[in-house]
């Protein structure tokens, strides 16, 4: 994920997890593979790509 390290354990092993919510919208989170730290999106999105991009922006702002 573009050399952005986990804010908790400083590793670079994270993935974007995207899912459909009960209302049919999309949400996403980025989760660290090492320590399990997760940063979810704050709201639902119309499409999966927008949710993924929002999760990445929120992760980058955390670091």
Q: Exposed, middle or buried, 4 (CB in 10 Å: 0-12/13-18/19+)?
A: middle
Domains of the chain, residue spans: 14-62
Q: Is 22 helix (H, G, I), strand (E, B) or coil?
A: coil
Q: The pTM is what?
A: 0.80
pLDDT in tens, 16-54: 999 999 999 999 999 999 999 999 988 889 999 999 999
What CA–CA distance (Å, rounded) separates 56 from 3? 12
pLDDT band at 7 (very low <50, low <70, confident <90, very high): confident
């Amino acid at each position: 994920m573009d050399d952005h390290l986990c804010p908790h354990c400083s590793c670079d092993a994270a993935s974007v997890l995207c899912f459909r919510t009960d209302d049919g919208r999309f949400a996403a989170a980025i989760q660290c593979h090492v320590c399990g730290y997760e940063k979810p999106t704050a709201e639902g999105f119309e499409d999966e790509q927008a949710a993924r991009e929002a999760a990445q922006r929120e992760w980058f702002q955390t670091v």
